[in-house]
Amino acid sequence: MGGYSSAFHKGGLTPDQLLKELFELSHRPWVKHAACHNTNVDLFMSQVPDDVERAKSVCEVCPVRMECLSEAVSKLDTGTRGGMSERERASALTHLRRYRPLFRFDVARARARL
């Protein structure tokens, strides 16, 4: 078992970390394409304004930003995800919930005109 464990440590991952990464990749294949994939997670979990802005700058160039944002909203994740802070996502959701009935009404009215 010693050789098995040391092989993971040479790669920088513990067996638990490797299992977690494999699970995430199998259920969220887009993660491996994320701009933040090999960055320090602490940056994205920080509430310090400078860190939040730095995390957002990584998200700006991310090819899977929308997938990340969608997951963050659906799971109510913490930290900066998809280019938005927790506070920004909460505000956007509140706004969406407030105006959703109006949007549905407009869709219904448009369909009635067809």
Is pLDDT above 90 for 35?
yes
> Per-residue confidence at 39, pLDDT binned at 50, 70, 90?
confident
> Per-residue confidence at 105, pLDDT binned at 50, 70, 90?
low
Residue 84: helix, strand or coil by DSSP?
strand
Q: Interhelix angle for 2-10 vs 15-27, to 10°?
A: 60
Residue 39: helix, strand or coil by DSSP?
coil
> Per-residue confidence at 102, pLDDT binned at 50, 70, 90?
low
Residue closest to 62 by CA, chosen among 92, 90, 37, 87: 37
Looking at per-residue confidence, does 35 or 109 come out higher? 35
Q: What is the spatial distance between Cα 83 and Cα 78, in angstroms, rounded to a whole number?
A: 12
Is pLDDT above 80 for 108?
no
| Residue 100 pLDDT | 66
Is pLDDT above 80 for 50?
yes
Q: Where are the domains of the chain?
A: 1-30, 34-113
- The pLDDT > 90 percentage for the chain reads 26
